[in-house]
Amino acid sequence: MPATSAHAAVHHGPPQGFIRKYVFSVDHKVIGIQYTTLSVVAAFIGMALSWAFRIHLGWPDAHIPLLGMLSKNGAPGGLMTPEYYLSLVTMHGTIMAFFVLTAAPMAGYGNYMLPIQVGAADMAFPRLNMASFWVTFVGFLLACATFFIPDGPPLSGWTAYAPLSAVGEVAGPGQGWGQNLWGLSIAIFCVASLLGALNFIVTTLDLRTKGMTMSRLPISTWAWFINAWVSLLAFAVLLPTCLLLVLDRLGGTSFFIPGGLVINDQMQPHSGGSPLLFQHLFWFFGHPEVYIIILPAFGIVSHIIPTFIRKPLVGGWKVITWAMVAIGTLSFIVWGHHMFVSGMSPYMAMVFSVPTLFITIPSVIATMVWLFSLYRANIRFDTPMLFSLGFISLFITGGIGGFFLAQPSTDSYLHATTFVVGHFHFTMGLSAIFGAFAGFYYWFPKMFGRMMNEKLGKVHFWLSFPLVYCVFMTMHLTGFAGAVRRYSALVDDFMAPLIPTNRFISVAALLLGATQFIFLFNAIWSRFRGPEAPNNPWGGTTLEWDTTSPPPFDNFGGRQITVYHGPMEYDGEASVMQTAPPAAVAGT
Amino acid sequence: MSSNRELTMSSYVGIGVGLMVIVGIEVVLTYQHLEPRTLLFSLLSLACLEAFVAVLYLMHVKYERPILFWTIFPATLFVLTFLCYLWPDAFRMASMRLLK
Amino acid sequence: MLSDQRSDLKGGDVNVTQSAIPSLGQHEVLMEASPYGIEKKKLGMWVFIVSDACTFGAFLFAYGYMRVGNPVWGTPFGVGSVVNGVVMTAVLLSSSFTMLAAVRASQTGAKPSTKKWLGITMLLGTIFAALHLKEWFSLIGEGWRLFYNPTGGAAQFGATFFSVTGLHLTHVVTGVIALAFIARGYNLGRYDESHVETAGLYWHFVDLVWMFVFPLMYLMNAH
Amino acid sequence: MAGKVFAVLVILITLATAYCVMAHVWWMPVDVSVHGPKIDRQIEETVLVAGLLFIAGQLVLAAFAFLYGGIGRKPRQIPGGAKPLIIFAFVLVGTEILALSFIGSKAWGSVYFEAPDPASMRVDVQAGQFAYYFRYPGPDGKFGSLHPDLINEGNQNYFGLDTDHDPDAKDDVVTAELAIPVNKPILITLHSKDVGHSFYVRELRIQQDFVPGLNIPIHFTATQTGRFEIVCTQLCGLGHYNMKAYLSVLSQADFENWLKKQASMQ
């Protein structure tokens, strides 16, 4: 309960001893780094999985030795079986969506930066904060554990549609304990996210330092705050969904399983459930989830751009913030656009379609704010800015695909084609990742007190950006041709001609993956060998640049922080720290 | 922190009795052989009334700043309202069942 | 790069920070006042309550969906169960008021009566749980299961009833345990009235949820 | 420098994308259904609307990155600040999306809102891991009732028909291929025997999931004879990639012969 942990903020001094310092630390900075590290690890696992199935799609009879070692039945001699292909796709989606994209930009950077940006010494409930990380960690271990149980990970996709996910092992390999662990893992992740969101909300509202009015919050803080509300409400619905799914599997209930199902000539002992109920509950969470993933990227980019163009965003904090609020709100009433062809009431399809299209308006406003802020700017193309620009380009491209999938009529052709895969990789996948990279390069000096290597960072960007388009724009195009997603082999008369195209995608994807090792090397090398970072390497104006790199245990060395200015008071080379006393400004 | 000074303990007892009376009404309604739909809606509205009293007085939102109410109430109501989008499919399920 | 405006700043001296830490979280001059003017743990509890309400809501929507989708339902509760339900409601409701008494006593600093009222609240919570389990066991005795309906109606009754009331029961038990912790901490002087008040919020919420669970799960299933 | 490279890169990507879409390098197969043209037109309109926004957005990004690199410029906001942007978004994008959803709803309605032609030929489709089976009512025009407990791949009772006691079921014709007469309204009923599947015929511009436990009706009219693939687009298990059947659109005469042949083989 929050109540019991409240005093932690009051009493805990700097911890002594390795365990309290680096493992079970209540310091939001350590927890933020723990989250970030977890998601980097998860990201490379997820990427390795995608490598495996991309290789399989490009060269169906390729033998992948490592895979053979990982799973004897899944990939005998390294040759991937169809079921293992689906398992890999499932776990790629699960790990990336939950443990990378939801964890890193929100829980990772948010934990580290939000308290500093509002001028607090720690989160509102530090012990709760520590709990939510370790709960997430347990969830992650459960997800990974599925690889090491006999029948392997589940194969029902990250959306785990019932009844395939609900009837148990009879539905196929991995649908036994694999799916159980999956359900538990996600349920646990829900709890962690709820606790995290609660902490973010209270910290932003109650722990702002003197003068840090809501209108002076950095945009990134706004994004995390809005996002915390979205997660709070969305995960509150995914939690029961997972619990009911687990009940169907282990308790013999029939929430999502109708009567009269015959699998392998076995009559299933269920009746009266509804697969559509699962889809509704899942997507009620699932659509806000994609915004939970992208909103922090919005915030990070909106936070970084002014620093590197040396001028405020068009419309100041208000326009971009209200755009994010509108997006967050609308995200709850559009989930049905994932279900246009699912057998949902066709009239509801229209009800969901219109607000979906209307999300375009705040999205376009946000995009134009970033775009037109560049007008007559002094753009400095350091790595964080390059990734921010990349983010804008990717987000535009991804948003465009939304027009096709938001309309039932066009979606009925494009649904479940690779067009969808391309679309969501652009919007919530790569946009969020680019936002995360931008944030990583931007805040690394603050987090670790060392600069990252600019050259390697630029190489990382110049290789990643075009490769992203090679992979996922091509998927859009094959989607127009009607290439179906989640096929482990292209055996149809229709799909077979697309094998060369898929080979091209695979090559690009492998290169894209390989490029990320430049980032990994850069991060690790700079962590230990990078040049000392000054307190404010980028000339930012927000509070995190107003303390040492890395910040002391209580973030500001016991100074009284008083804020007099908004977060983006840039004017060319001149800029005003949020804490600069009015007199000092007059002086400059 | 003296937010629930406003009411004396006895008036709280009054509220408690009132809530129990509502529960009584609910029970009586249950045995009036009403249409399930009518019964459901009357029970729900009574429950909402109870909940409202509980939020305002037991959880003394009435004596907090209004902004607290205007934060928690719309958020919760928002989710519960739009979850209603799944009712059409619940009714379709009854009408389109494969096995009657 | 810009010349850092405060490069003279030398932080990181932990001893200096010690003095600053105790004042964190309290709304003193160095903080912006909370827009709600309430303890942060109280606000945290409110935020938790919002999400928990949505969780319960989703459970109840699933129940409604199942019920609408399965016209042949089956209503197991006779007068006995309804009476039992009314008693449970009375118990839980009065526990809310004993909780109020405890909060109030704690605010006047009356330690003994605070402990007394907390004790009574926990007792009532336990009675509620006991009555609830009695209901469960009588149903199980009649052959109701998560997956089986002895009256031949939809199997979903057991599933929805046991899961929804189970979730509520979990909240009650958690609440009783939490109250025990709070009482102990309060007794040892580690916790103050604000903890009691926050725990009270949670307890009232559990009561509030029951105000929906009772009519929907019991009365709607009474024959 | 970096800005100019970025600009060039973005422009190249934009042009390449635009070319691939406009030149239909990868594109939908030709449509063979009555409602299809509406959907195609809708896709084309969306390509236009979305494509313009796409090109405009990327070009502005490229232009600004190209022009405003470096330092020493006196920063200035765009004339009018954010207002014109907001107005543009609401007015232009707003009308665009309203138009799209208005026209689009017609295309959607032509598939889902209009009642099927009462004279439609009815076919019953059962999906299971990992095959489709099709059922024609036979001479009596009535489908026998379904008994899942009787489903048995071994003796080829895929639908669970009670041919011994149910007269309607006796003459039902069960096939592994869907054949339909051209230019005749067809009403098919989808139901799944196990998990979720989908009925996707690209040339018909039809994609509809099977919902276990429900009967999902869908109706269409094919306008050209030919043989097309029916594929599963709803993840249904390890054989998902290989779950397919064929749709043969035949002339009325050919169709009748085909049905007779199938009936004789029951």
Domain contains B100: no
Express each pLDDT in A16-48 by its tens digit: 788 888 889 999 999 999 999 999 999 999 999
Looking at chain A, the whole-number percentage of residues with pLDDT higher than 90 is: 86
The DSSP element (H or E) to which A574 belongs, if any, is strand A574-575
Cα–Cα distance for residue pair A495/A489, rounded to 1 Å: 9
Residues 6+ apart with CB under 8 A from A3: C41, C44, C45, C178, C182, C191, C194, C195, C198, C199
Cα–Cα distance for residue pair D37/B20, rounded to 1 Å: 64
Domain contains B27: yes
Domain hosting A561: range is 41-259+268-587
Domain hosting B34: range is 3-95
List all residues of chain C from 98 to 137 with a beta carbon under 8 Å from chain B: 100-101, 103-104, 107
Average pLDDT score over chain A: 93
Cα–Cα distance for residue pair C148/C140, rounded to 1 Å: 10
D34 in contact with A at a CB cutoff of 8 Å?
A: no
Looking at chain A, the whole-number percentage of residues with pLDDT higher than 70 is: 97
The DSSP element (H or E) to which A575 belongs, if any, is strand A574-575
Mean pLDDT, to the nearest integer, of A504-509?
Answer: 96
| Structure-token pair, residue C123 | 């007792």
Contact B98/D191, CB-based, under 8 Å?
A: yes
pLDDT for residue A586 = 54
D50 in contact with A at a CB cutoff of 8 Å?
A: yes
User: Three-state DSSP class for C12?
Assistant: coil
- pLDDT classification of A151: cutoffs 50, 70, 90: confident
Cα–Cα distance for residue pair D174/D259, rounded to 1 Å: 10
- CATH for C170: 1.20.120.80
Site of tokens 């606000």:
C43
pLDDT for residue C27 = 39
Cα–Cα distance for residue pair A540/A446, rounded to 1 Å: 11
Cα–Cα distance for residue pair D181/D247, rounded to 1 Å: 11
| Structure-token pair, residue A224 | 């995390």
Q: Is D6 exposed, middle or buried (0-12, 13-18, 19+ CB in 10 A)?
A: buried
- CA distances from residue C139 to C80, C91, C158, D24 in whole angstroms, order as listed: 12, 21, 9, 65
Chain A partners within 8 Å of C59 (Cβ): 240, 244
Record: fold of D121-264: Immunoglobulin-like (2.60.40)
One-letter amino acid for residue D108 of the chain: W
Express each pLDDT in D108-166 by its tens digit: 998 899 999 999 999 999 999 999 999 999 888 899 999 999 998 888 899 999 988 99
- Positive or negative torsion for Cα A501, D232, B87, A411: positive
Q: Is D3 exposed, middle or buried (0-12, 13-18, 19+ CB in 10 A)?
A: buried
The CA-CA-CA angle for residues B83, B87, B93, to 5°, reads: 135
Instruction: Report whether D222 contacts D180 (CB < 8 A).
Output: yes
According to DSSP, residue A344 is labeled -
Contact A229/B75, CB-based, under 8 Å?
A: yes
Q: What are the contacts of C8-13 at 24+ separation with CB within 8 A?
A: C9/A535, C9/A546, C9/A547, C9/A548, C9/A557, C10/A548, C10/A557, C11/A547, C11/A548, C11/A551, C11/A552, C11/A556, C11/A557, C11/A559, C12/A548, C12/A551, C12/A552, C12/A553, C12/A557, C13/A552, C13/A557, C13/A558
The CA-CA-CA angle for residues D29, D110, D245, to 5°, reads: 45
**Residue A395 CB neighbours (<10 A):** 27
The beta strand positions in chain D, using DSSP E, are 121-128, 131-136, 173-175, 178-181, 185-192, 197-201, 206-210, 216-221, 226-231, 244-250
Contact B85/A352, CB-based, under 8 Å?
A: yes
Q: How far is B89 from chain D (nearest CA, A)?
A: 11
Cα–Cα distance for residue pair A162/A187, rounded to 1 Å: 16
pLDDT for residue B5 = 54
- CATH for A464: 1.20.210.10
Cα–Cα distance for residue pair A193/A186, rounded to 1 Å: 10
Contact A345/B90, CB-based, under 8 Å?
A: no
Note the helical H segments in chain C.
14-20, 40-69, 79-107, 111-141, 156-187, 193-213
**Residue B88 CB neighbours (<10 A):** 15
Q: Is residue A355 scored above 50 in pLDDT?
A: yes
C189 in contact with A at a CB cutoff of 8 Å?
A: no
Structural domain tally of chain B? 1
pLDDT for residue D104 = 87
Using CB atoms, list chains with 3+ pairs below 8 Å to chain A: B, C, D
Instruction: Report whether A460 contacts D168 (CB < 8 A).
Output: no
Among candidate residues D227, A479, A220, A236, the one with its CA nearest the CA of residue B80: A236
The answer to whether the peptide bond before residue B52 is cis (omega within 30 degrees of 0) is no
Q: Is residue C7 scored above 60 in pLDDT?
A: no
Q: Is residue A546 scored above 90 in pLDDT?
A: yes
Among the partner-chain residues C46, C47, C82, the one whose CB lies closest to the CB of B27 is: C82
pLDDT for residue A172 = 87
Q: Is residue A492 scored above 90 in pLDDT?
A: no
Using CB atoms, list chains with 3+ pairs below 8 Å to chain D: A, B
Structural domain tally of chain C? 1
Contact D215/B97, CB-based, under 8 Å?
A: yes
Cα–Cα distance for residue pair A124/C36, rounded to 1 Å: 15
Using CB atoms, list chains with 3+ pairs below 8 Å to chain B: A, C, D
Structural domain tally of chain A? 1
pLDDT for residue D110 = 87
Domain hosting C104: range is 38-69+76-221
β-partners of residue D190 are D125, D216
Express each pLDDT in A430-467 by its tens digit: 999 999 999 999 999 999 999 999 999 999 999 999 99
pLDDT for residue B2 = 41
**Residue A438 CB neighbours (<10 A):** 28
Q: Number of Cβ pairs closer than 8 Å across A and B?
A: 44
Express each pLDDT in A294-308 by its tens digit: 999 999 999 999 999
User: Three-state DSSP class for A343?
Assistant: coil
Q: Is residue C1 scored above 50 in pLDDT?
A: no
- pLDDT classification of C28: cutoffs 50, 70, 90: very low
Mean pLDDT, to the nearest integer, of C114-130?
Answer: 96
| Structure-token pair, residue A349 | 């399809």
Cα–Cα distance for residue pair B95/D110, rounded to 1 Å: 22
Q: Which residue in chain A is spatially nearest to D26 when comparing CA positions?
A: A481
Chain A partners within 8 Å of D113 (Cβ): 346-347
Domain contains A417: yes
According to DSSP, residue A107 is labeled I
Q: Which residue in chain C is spatially nearest to B65 when comparing CA positions?
A: C36
Cα–Cα distance for residue pair A331/A289, rounded to 1 Å: 9
Backbone dihedral angles phi then psi of residue D197, each to the nearest 5 degrees? -135, -175
Q: Is residue C62 scored above 70 in pLDDT?
A: yes
Site of tokens 């096929």:
A487
Contact A552/C17, CB-based, under 8 Å?
A: yes
- Positive or negative torsion for Cα C14, C19, C23, C29: negative
- pLDDT classification of A584: cutoffs 50, 70, 90: low
Mean pLDDT, to the nearest integer, of A476-494?
Answer: 91
Mean pLDDT, to the nearest integer, of A512-519?
Answer: 97
Domain contains A458: yes
Cα–Cα distance for residue pair A92/A424, rounded to 1 Å: 14
* Structure ipTM over 0.85, yes or no: yes
Looking at chain D, the whole-number percentage of residues with pLDDT higher than 70 is: 100
Cα–Cα distance for residue pair A71/A84, rounded to 1 Å: 9
- CA distances from residue A120 to A24, A207, D153 in whole angstroms, order as listed: 20, 6, 67
Cα–Cα distance for residue pair A18/A24, rounded to 1 Å: 9
Q: A90's torsion region: left (phi>0), alpha (psi -120 to 50) or beta?
A: alpha
D210 in contact with A at a CB cutoff of 8 Å?
A: yes
Domain contains B61: yes
Contact B98/D146, CB-based, under 8 Å?
A: yes
3-state SS string over A250-286? HHCCCCCCCCCCEECCEECCCCCCCHHHHHHHHHHHH
pLDDT for residue A11 = 46
pLDDT for residue C8 = 32
**Residue C22 CB neighbours (<10 A):** 12
Cα–Cα distance for residue pair A59/A94, rounded to 1 Å: 25
